[in-house]
């Protein structure tokens, strides 16, 4: 499962949740094309699959793949039960293991849409509403992936391997860092937009002449 570092939360994600896949090792957190999930249990993600990173001026790269962990026994994390407990969590829409082509296609469409909006934010052509929409989405993704990973550790931490616990903890840490950075990123984006708008006005006045 891909490591998530940008959601997609890339946008107003579809409200439909992916198909349920019971007792498959979930990758917590987090938009770019998402590769089909391996058939064997996978390690938790640190970021949301296919989510672009607003902290970079370049297009979001493909998420790094986390090596799948071999399961010597039935995995203790029951996704079916977790979905019942947290039905509205964005993990199901953006990060839950699935091979459903419709779900994968929907994630790719979301990734393209959020990447396009990220491009507008970085080029200072996004409106204030679009800037807030983009970062509100990022905030929601990180909050939901933190909630999901925290619930897994709380209920199943003692049954997970040390490596798995470490991956879930890393996911939580990375998304908390992202949340801490969002206020500054919003402020910077709005400031750049204001400067760009002022320059555009001055240029328009200069064209008209005295």
| Strand segments (E) across the chain | none
**CA–CA gap between residue 130 and residue 128 (Å, rounded):** 5
- Expressed in percent and rounded to 5, the helix, strand and coil fractions of the chain are 55, 0, 45
What token pair was written down for 206? 């200069």
> In 3D, which of 155, 11, 35 has the Cα closest to residue 95?
35
First-to-last C-alpha distance (Å) of the chain: 61
| Residues 161, 44: Cα–Cα separation, whole Å | 12
Report pLDDT digits (tens) over 9-40: 444 444 343 444 444 455 544 433 333 333 33
Burial class (CB in 10 A: 0-12, 13-18, 19+), 50: buried
pTM for this predicted structure: 0.68
Enclosing domain of residue 188: 1-210
Query: How distant, in Å, are the alpha carbons of 30, 97, 125, 187, 201 from that of 122?
Result: 19, 31, 8, 13, 20
Over the stretch 97-136, which tens digit does the pLDDT of each residue have? 899 999 999 999 999 999 999 999 999 999 999 999 999 9
- Its sign, for the CA torsion 112, 105, 17, 34, is negative
The whole-angstrom distance between residue 204's C-alpha and the CA centroid of its chain comes to 39
**Count of alpha carbons within 13 angstroms of residue 76, beta-carbon side:** 13
Tokens of 33: 């094309």
The dihedral over CA atoms of 23, 27, 31, 36, expressed in degrees to the nearest 10, equals: -50
Three-state secondary structure call for residue 91: helix
- Please tell me the distance from the alpha carbon of residue 172 to that of residue 140, in angstroms, as a whole number: 14
- What's the structural domain count of the chain? 1
* For range 89-94, the mean pLDDT: 94
Going by pLDDT thresholds of 50, 70 and 90, the confidence category of residue 52 is low
Please report, rounded to a whole number, the percentage of residues in the chain having pLDDT higher than 90. Answer: 53
Spatial separation of the C-alpha atoms in residues 79 and 167, rounded to whole Å: 17
- At 90 the pLDDT is 95
């Amino acid at each position: 499962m891909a490591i998530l570092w940008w959601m997609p939360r890339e946008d107003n994600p579809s409200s439909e949740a992916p198909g349920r896949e019971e007792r498959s090792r979930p990758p917590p957190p987090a938009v770019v094309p998402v590769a089909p999930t391996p058939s064997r249990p996978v390690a938790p993600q640190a970021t949301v699959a296919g989510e672009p990173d607003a902290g970079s001026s370049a297009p979001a790269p493909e998420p790094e793949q986390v090596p799948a962990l071999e399961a010597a026994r039935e995995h203790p994390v029951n996704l079916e039960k977790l979905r019942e407990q947290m039905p509205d969590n964005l993990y199901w829409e953006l990060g839950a293991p699935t091979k459903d082509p419709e779900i994968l296609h929907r994630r790719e469409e979301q990734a393209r849409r959020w990447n396009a909006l990220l491009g507008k934010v970085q080029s200072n052509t996004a409106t204030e509403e679009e800037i807030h929409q983009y970062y509100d989405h990022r905030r929601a993704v990180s909050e939901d992936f933190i909630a999901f990973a925290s619930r897994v550790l709380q209920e199943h931490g003692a049954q997970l391997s040390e490596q798995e616990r470490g991956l879930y903890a890393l996911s939580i840490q990375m998304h908390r860092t992202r949340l801490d950075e969002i206020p500054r990123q919003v402020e910077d984006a709005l400031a750049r937009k204001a400067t760009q708008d002022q320059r555009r006005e001055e240029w328009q006045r200069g064209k008209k002449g005295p």
